[in-house]
Amino acid sequence: MKKLILLLTLVFLCTTSYAQETKLPEIKTEGDLQEITIFYKSGTIMQHGYYTKEGKLHSSWESYNEDGTPKCFATYHYGLKVGVWTYWNKDKITKVVYNNNKIVKIEESEIQDKLKDSY
């Protein structure tokens, strides 16, 4: 019986300590939109964006690497990809222009050394 109580106590403590390390997503209502921020276990922002009441992505959506540098900035219009999406990948920036979920244009450029340190 003592072993069972000890085992249950250890499981409870492990679960509690793990739960305290993981930051839950933050969800706020702004008018007709839900703003959501999702975090890495380290506490830095992984993704931030907006949903409609129907659950469709809308407005800006941002993704970040765990070190806080940008990964992707995107724009949705009621679930459809629109506007310029910017992707950062090591030494390259890729810009993809969307119109109504269709790719219109793709541009790639090298990240200049002075810009690498600023983002």
pLDDT exceeds cutoff 90 at 77: yes
- Condensed to tens digits (0 to 9), the pLDDT of residues 6-55 reads 344 445 544 444 445 668 999 999 899 999 999 999 999 999 999 999 99
How would residue 114 be classed by pLDDT, with cut points 50, 70 and 90? very low
Q: What's CA 49's distance to the chain center, in Å?
A: 8
Chosen CATH of 24-116 out of 2.20.110, 2.30.30, 3.30.70, 1.10.10:
2.20.110
Identity at 112, one-letter amino acid code? Q
pTM: 0.73
pLDDT exceeds cutoff 80 at 67: yes
Running DSSP on this structure, what letter comes out for residue 41?
A: T
